[in-house]
Amino acid sequence: MKIAIVILNWNGKSLLEKYLPSVLNYSEGSAIYVVDNASTDDSVAFLKERYPTIGVIQNDENGGFAKGYNDGLKQIDADIYCLLNSDVEVTENWIDPIKQLFETKQKVAIIQPKILDLRNKEYFEYAGAAGGFIDQLGYPFCRGRVFQSLEKDTGQYDDDREIFWATGACLFIRSTVFNDLGGFDEDYFAHQEEVDLCWGAQNLGHTVYYTAKSHVFHLGGSTLNNVNPKKTYLNFRNSLFSITKNLPRRKAFVIIFLRLFLDGIAAIRFIFQLEFDHCFAILRAHLSFYRQFRKMYRKREKANFMIKYYLIKSIVWSHFVHQINNFNALVKD
């Protein structure tokens, strides 16, 4: 089983300097590549001088996370792609448990390890934590992370289990499945494209898994932090894209209507918090969604939509009304 670890880079020399050594130290037997998204710093020169054994693929433009990986992976031959953020510190023996799962569970197409916070290693990290899920309205959340609330890792999620989506911060995927899906949807640019990818894989009958036998530490916020209006724009818009593409037609229209209504409430909430940039970001997200609706609708799968795609009915209601911040309490609610 050939595994290729592929790191997407854009002006991230400082991150490569800090975190690439751990990948080299603990990834024996795997090929390592850096896909550069037309960086304007000296990332490429640094890599070629300091790490001549690492494969460097140079994209002609910064097409974001989705196009960047799509273009880079076309040039890499492997059975398993590991898509790894440049701000991730890996640990000893992080690959073997992933490899064993792929070998023993043939239906598993995508796997995520445990993601812990590099700044506070006893806590889960925002991007992925212990595996991702969505509610009936398509809002994503994680075991170990509900909105901005992060849980301490006390071993409560030390298991192997099926999840709904795996984080793009550290995502292993069979190359055949990635290619069958046509890679990431490049219209997303960045954020939630991994949710769409995992959703599409499950519509084709594959499963997504999490294992705590492997863990990594993620810095997070290196590209866009959680309070950046551009991230608000991308998350709100791309979530609507995924609903349009991956649900049966009648259900999709109902969920889209409800999401647009709730997004409006979120925009009003931002106004009361005097965060006008985020309110405007939601407006721009909706306008972009309207413009691209037909395009997204044409991308829908023709059959085999998942009947039960969600874990709970409403993460928004549970968190903001019932004040639930813990995943296990959320599921019991």
For the chain, the domains span 3-218, 229-332
pTM, two decimals, is 0.95
Residues 312 and 234: their CA atoms lie apart, in Å, by 24
pLDDT of residue 308: 84
pLDDT in tens, 136-192: 999 999 999 999 999 999 999 999 999 999 999 999 999 999 999 999 999 999 999
User: Looking at residue 301, what is its pLDDT?
Assistant: 67
Distance CA 287, CA 230 (A): 14
- For 95, list phi and psi in degrees, rounded to 5: -90, -35
- Give the residues of the chain that fall short of pLDDT 70: 221-226, 301-303, 333
The pLDDT assigned to 221 comes to 67
Q: Give φ, ψ of 49 to 5 degrees.
A: -80, -45
pLDDT at 300: 85
* Contact indicator for 216, 153 with CB cutoff of 8 Å: no
Looking at residue 307, its amino acid is I
**CATH 1.10.3720.10, domain 3-218, yes or no:** no
Q: Are 126 and 193 in contact (CB under 8 A)?
A: no
The pLDDT value given to residue 303? 56
Using CA atoms, how far apart are residues 234 and 93, in angstroms rounded to an integer? 35
The per-residue pLDDT for 159 is 98
